[in-house]
Amino acid sequence: MAMTDFREIGGGCCRVRRHSRGFTLIELMIAVTVVAILTAIALPSYQNSIRKSRRPDAKTALLDLASRQERYFTLNNVYTDGVTVPNSLGYALPANLGNAGNPDYLLSVVTPNPGTGPTFSLKAVPQGDQANDSCGTYTLDNFGNQSNIVGGVAAPVAGCW
């Protein structure tokens, strides 16, 4: 007997297995559901990582402003707010930090009322999506004290600075 295809033998005794091509609707729906669940879990973690990666930019900018304040104080025996004497710190204050169209932080200098002595406080206030960061507003004063303000209340510095 010659080699033949099973379809030719016995009419209907043996079935030829059909190969399916593609996916069923149920399989596709399961795959979409799994991807949606993974995205719902991963996206917030990714966004928090991005916010966390922007924090050093604010810290670096405040430390740079503090050194500029000290340089200004050395020459003038007074700290500046950077606004009354424009560009005295090399920044047009208040300054946006980050993308010009979508800034991450707003930098500003706060000087107390005259007569309280030479002091200053620097602030990096989160803007846009960065406002969702758990560390809130960064502050730095002329003594080197660093703090965070979240909702008007001092927050722990650990893990932020």
Chain segment 102-113, per-residue pLDDT in tens: 899 999 988 776
**Range of lowest pLDDT (11-15, 39-43, 132-136):** 11-15
* pTM attached to this predicted model: 0.72
Q: Inform me whether the pLDDT recorded for 4 exceeds 60.
A: no
97: closest CA among 67, 66, 126? 126
Which residue from 109, 150, 142 is spatially nearest to 126, judged by alpha carbons? 150
> Which residue type sits at 18?
R
Whether 88 and 32 have beta carbons less than 8 Å apart is answered as no
